[in-house]
């Protein structure tokens, strides 16, 4: 800890990059919290419906994160070299890929929402409510993808404040329209879950407009025209995909694994699904600092490798991992000790949902420091260093060989309550940490992808 506090350059990097990212994540998590709070007023069926419907967006957003996390590896290292032309080319690749991905998910959610909902649950009311929500919110997917690309690229070139400011604007917009449209205030119709979907769509439109305004006004490395975004030399895309395809596959299969966890929880019952949604919303609020550290680690480690300072990148990686464990221990203890306090926010929870949520939060607190360590390990260190293939195999193996089988074993065979199934699922984090730490110490993850 003394070594961390004594490194002024490291602390300055944390303040400039990690804190704005953490604040942005806090804003996003607060919005999810407000969404869940408002929807909880409509009953457990609405909570379950929106929670399960958003599993499709969760899957989509993780693919987006894979594409743009891969692009940020290049952008961070190119920024270390001050190579603006290649930064714009990489941004162009990311925007094109996210647009096509968004189009695919929009078609699925817009035209086949019932099929999506029936994959998770059998209750007719939950299926109907979730389908209504999906049809509307799907119109925001492409916009979200483009916003994602510019936001992550902005962080990678040292402009972490812009996405934070825009997220706050989006947060206010979404909260206001949710309040108006879910409950029918100020003369508007009472739309229930449909109102939540319209609120999200309006907020995404406002978000992309502000992002493009700030980028083309203030962030020169990203202010590219169509030609600059798409002038890819021969072999350029091949080199991009060689590094980024493991990240995309990693995020897609990890996200699909999380979706399968939701399927397992839904098999336990509607109460279990609602409880997971409530507990996960609270946990995500606690996770904002860790996401900030992990994303800052990606940028800073990538910058140092791009500058040719490989030994310094290793030292920074170790310091980030230490900070993630310390913060994880502190936040995990708070999460474990305060479930009754945090659940007071949800006034109309069913008695069974409340008790399940309480137990889930305590279990989440116990495993929290391992999750924070792994988030920085995978997203920050291994990806920031360009070691995308190893991180892919590590994540895929942990989720699909450990987590998913144990989830269905606990839910369907042992008939465990949802919080004990979550204990089984969390064993994947233990496996991940045990395999990942030796890789960090070996320094084999340090790879300059721009050479």
Distances (CA, A) of 120 to 259, 299, 400: 9, 37, 18
Please say whether the beta carbons of 381 and 445 come within 8 A: yes
For residue 9, what pLDDT band results from cuts at 50, 70 and 90? low
- 32-41, 205-214, 216-225: segment of lowest average pLDDT: 32-41
Query: How large is the average pLDDT for residues 126-154?
Result: 91
For residue 18, what pLDDT band results from cuts at 50, 70 and 90? low
pLDDT in the model for residue 205: 95
**Considering the entire predicted model, what is its pTM?**
0.71
Query: How large is the average pLDDT for residues 436-445?
Result: 92
User: Which residue's entry shows tokens 């221990």?
Assistant: 329
Q: Which residues of 40-69 are buried (b: 16+ CB within 10 A; e: fewer)?
A: bebbbbbbbbbbbbbbbbebbbbbbbbbbb
Three-class DSSP labels, the chain: CHHHHCCHHHHHHHHHHHHHHHHHHHHHHHHHHHHHHHHHCCCHHHHHHHHHHHHHHHHHHHHHHHHHHHHHHHHHHHHHHCCHHHHHHHHHHHHHHHHHHHHHHHHHHHHCHHHHHHHHCCCHHHHHHHHHHHHHHHHHHHHHHHHHHHHHHHHHCCCCHHHHHHHHHHHHHHHHHHHHHHHCCCCCCCCCHHHHHHHHHHHHHHHHHHHHHHHHHHCHHHCCCHHHHHCCCCCHHHHHHHHHHHHHHHHHHHHHHHHHHHHHHHHHCHHHHHHHHHHHHHHHHHCHHHHHHHHHHHHHHHHHHHCCCHHHHHHHHHHHHHHHHHHHHHHHHHHHHCHHHHHHHCCCCCHHHHHHHHHHHHHHHHCHHHHHHHHHHHHHHHHHCCCHHHHHHHHHHHHHHHHHHHHHHHHHHCCCCHHHHHHHHHHHHHHHHHHHHHHHHHCCCCCCCCC
Residue 350's region, left for phi above 0, alpha for psi from -120 to 50, else beta, is beta
Closest CA to 380 of 316, 427, 312: 316
144: tokens are 């979200």
For residue 399, what pLDDT band results from cuts at 50, 70 and 90? very high
Please give the span between the terminal C-alpha atoms of the chain, in angstroms, as a whole number.
34
Percent of the chain at pLDDT > 70 equals 92
Please say whether the beta carbons of 143 and 203 come within 8 A: no
Q: Report how far Cα 436 is from the mean position of its chain's Cα atoms.
A: 20
Query: How large is the average pLDDT for residues 361-370?
Result: 94
- In degrees, to the nearest 5, what angle opens at C-alpha 119 toward C-alphas 365 and 115? 135
pLDDT in the model for residue 290: 77
On the CB side of 396, CA atoms within 13 Å amount to: 14
Task: Check whether 373 has a pLDDT greater than 90.
Answer: yes
Task: Check whether 3 has a pLDDT greater than 70.
Answer: no
Tens-digit pLDDT profile for residues 82-106: 888 889 999 999 999 999 999 999 9
pLDDT in the model for residue 435: 94
pLDDT in the model for residue 232: 87
pLDDT in the model for residue 353: 87
pLDDT in the model for residue 6: 52
Task: Check whether 13 has a pLDDT greater than 70.
Answer: no
Query: How large is the average pLDDT for residues 147-173?
Result: 87
| More confident: 434 or 62 | 434
- In degrees, to the nearest 5, what angle opens at C-alpha 144 toward C-alphas 398 and 55? 40
> In the predicted model, what is the mean pLDDT of the chain?
86
- Rounded CA Rg of the chain: 21
Report d(CA 255, CA 69) in Å as an integer: 14
pLDDT in the model for residue 95: 93
Tens-digit pLDDT profile for residues 270-296: 788 888 888 888 887 788 777 777 877
For residue 39, what pLDDT band results from cuts at 50, 70 and 90? confident
User: Which residue's entry shows tokens 């606690």?
Assistant: 286
pLDDT in the model for residue 251: 78
Closest CA to 134 of 161, 105, 157: 105
For residue 14, what pLDDT band results from cuts at 50, 70 and 90? low
Task: Check whether 231 has a pLDDT greater than 80.
Answer: yes
Query: How large is the average pLDDT for residues 396-424?
Result: 93
Tens-digit pLDDT profile for residues 62-79: 888 888 878 888 888 888
């Amino acid at each position: 800890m003394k070594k961390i506090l004594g490194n002024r350059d490291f602390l300055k990097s944390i303040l400039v990059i990690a804190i704005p990212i953490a604040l942005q994540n806090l804003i996003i998590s607060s919005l999810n919290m407000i969404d869940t709070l408002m929807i909880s007023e409509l009953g457990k069926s609405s909570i379950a419906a929106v929670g399960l419907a958003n599993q499709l967006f969760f899957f989509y957003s993780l693919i987006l994160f894979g594409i743009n996390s891969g692009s940020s590896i290049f952008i961070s290292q190119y920024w270390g070299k001050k190579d603006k032309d290649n930064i714009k080319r990489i941004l162009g690749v990311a925007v094109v890929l996210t647009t096509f991905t968004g189009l695919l998910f929009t078609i699925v959610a817009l035209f086949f929402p019932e099929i999506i909902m029936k994959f998770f649950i059998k209750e007719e009311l939950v299926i109907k409510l979730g389908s209504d929500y999906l049809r509307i919110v799907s119109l925001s997917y492409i916009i979200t993808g483009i916003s994602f690309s510019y936001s992550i690229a902005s962080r990678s070139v040292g402009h972490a404040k812009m996405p934070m400011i825009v997220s706050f604007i989006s947060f206010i917009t979404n909260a206001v329209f949710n309040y108006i449209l879910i409950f029918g205030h100020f003369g508007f119709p009472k739309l229930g879950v449909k109102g939540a979907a319209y609120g999200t769509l309006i907020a995404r439109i406002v978000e992309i407009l502000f992002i493009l305004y700030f980028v083309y006004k203030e962030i020169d490395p990203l202010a590219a025209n169509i030609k600059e975004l798409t002038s890819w030399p021969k072999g350029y895309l091949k080199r991009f995909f060689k590094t980024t395809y493991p990240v995309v596959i990693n995020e897609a299969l990890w996200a699909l694994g999380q979706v399968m966890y939701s399927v397992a929880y839904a098999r336990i019952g509607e109460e279990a699904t609602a409880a997971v949604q409530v507990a996960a919303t609270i946990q995500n609020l606690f996770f904002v600092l860790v996401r900030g550290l992990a994303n800052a680690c990606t940028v800073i480690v990538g910058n140092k490798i791009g500058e040719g300072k490989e030994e310094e990148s290793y030292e920074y990686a170790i310091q980030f991992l230490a900070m993630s464990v310390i913060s994880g221990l502190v936040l995990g203890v708070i999460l474990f000790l305060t479930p009754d306090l945090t659940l007071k926010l949800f006034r109309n929870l069913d008695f069974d949902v409340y008790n399940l949520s309480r137990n889930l939060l305590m279990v989440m607190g116990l495993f929290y420091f391992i999750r924070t360590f792994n988030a920085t390990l995978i997203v920050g260190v291994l990806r920031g260093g360009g070691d995308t293939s190893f991180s892919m195999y590590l994540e895929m193996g942990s989720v699909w060989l450990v987590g998913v089988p144990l989830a269905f074993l606990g839910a369907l065979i042992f008939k465990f309550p949802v919080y004990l199934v979550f204990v089984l699922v969390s064993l994947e984090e233990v496996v991940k940490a045990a395999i990942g730490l030796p890789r960090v110490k070996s320094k084999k993850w340090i790879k300059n992808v721009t050479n």
